[in-house]
Amino acid sequence: MLIDWNELELTVEFVSSGPVGAHEAVLCRRTGKFLLHTELFDDADDWPEDADDEEKYLSIPHKKELDLGKALVFEFARQFLPEEYDEIRRIFSKRGAYARFKGLLQRRKALDRWFEFENRATEMALREWCDANGLTIRKGDPPAQEPEQR
């Protein structure tokens, strides 16, 4: 099935904008359209009753389901801020970790590097997910890139 890269990225961002399960999205295997659902609004009329039917719909993953959560932060720290690794692990042992982590990155002038690293890792994970699910990205969409290595 042919899909639009930008739609996929936006849909994954929607699904990932809350805790796992708070926002859902599926790709209709028949039409190729992305369908969105959130518990914040009563949009159940637009959400198919059989959205869990894997023959009809493909569930769009949350970033955490693609290992793009804390594991990615720790990999970034290991590669680019090894002297801060223990501090970053401590930061992520408490609530509100991402705000404190980004504050640390700003102080270390590494915020842009983090965003680049995160974007590349997200792209790679999504491309692998597409391959595993038989999805083809429409031509003209961004080329695959490897995450920056130290």
Q: Distance (Å, rounded) from C-alpha 119 to C-alpha 95?
A: 23
The distance of Cα 28 from the centroid of its chain, to the nearest Å, equals 19
Q: How far apart are CA 129 and CA 135, in angstroms?
A: 8
Query: Cα 137 to chain center, whole Å?
Result: 17
- Residue range 63-92, pLDDT digits in tens: 999 999 899 999 999 999 999 999 999 999
pTM: 0.81
pLDDT in tens, 3-62: 999 999 999 999 999 888 889 999 999 999 999 998 777 655 578 889 999 999 999 999
Angle at 28 between CA 8 and CA 11, to 5 degrees: 25
- Report residue 149 as tokens: 């290595």
Where do we find the tokens 């990932």? 16
Amino acid at 136: T
**Inter-residue contact 37 to 43 (CB < 8 Å):** yes
Q: Determine contact, residues 20/64, Cβ cutoff 8 Å.
A: yes
